[in-house]
Amino acid sequence: MDQPNRSNPPEVIIGNNQITFVLNQDIYPRDIVLKTCYVYIDRMYFQLDIPRAKIITVTVKGKERLAPKELEKFKDDFLDELLNALLRKRISRQNQKLVEYIVGGAVTAALEKADARMGDTIKEDAVDPNRIEREIEALKKELEEEMDAA
């Protein structure tokens, strides 16, 4: 009977102030690995490689010299952050349609409101077509009165 394919856990080699993670790209895609490196790039030195198909290696060195315990903690944190990034990607993919609907709805509503406002202004002008003429007459009258007074 065939055994189901089991993926090995990520291989981690801890050395002198240095850790190497050997990751399977089927589980940890390249963008996820890059995102995770970005989180720690101000504290650690990184070099990445793809030595063979589907395998990505991340070599990490502490900017400050790290004790074995600190390296061990970093290893756990890095692996957690990888999962965190994976989960965030999955959630954002799942919610993508929902976000598009909400943003689309908000934009449509804002445009409709703006159209309605423009319509009201045009309507106001349309209610009294003689308003401009009356205003001109009133201005003329005012000017004549001023001239008479002078």
Instruction: Give the interface with another protein as residue ranges (CB under 8 A).
Output: 30-31, 34-35, 37-38, 41, 45-50, 56, 61, 63
**Cβ 118 to another protein shortest distance, Å:** 37
Q: Within 13 A of 149's CA, how many CA atoms are on the CB side?
A: 6
Q: How far is the CB of 31 from another protein (least distance, A)?
A: 7
Of 31 and 115, which CB lies nearer to another protein in the complex structure? Answer: 31
Burial class (CB in 10 A: 0-12, 13-18, 19+), 62: middle
- Number of Cβ atoms within 10 Å of the Cβ of 36: 25
Q: For residue 19, how many other CB atoms are within 10 A of its CB?
A: 20
Is 49 or 125 the residue whose CB approaches another protein more closely? 49
For the CB of residue 45, give the shortest distance to another protein in the complex, in Å.
4
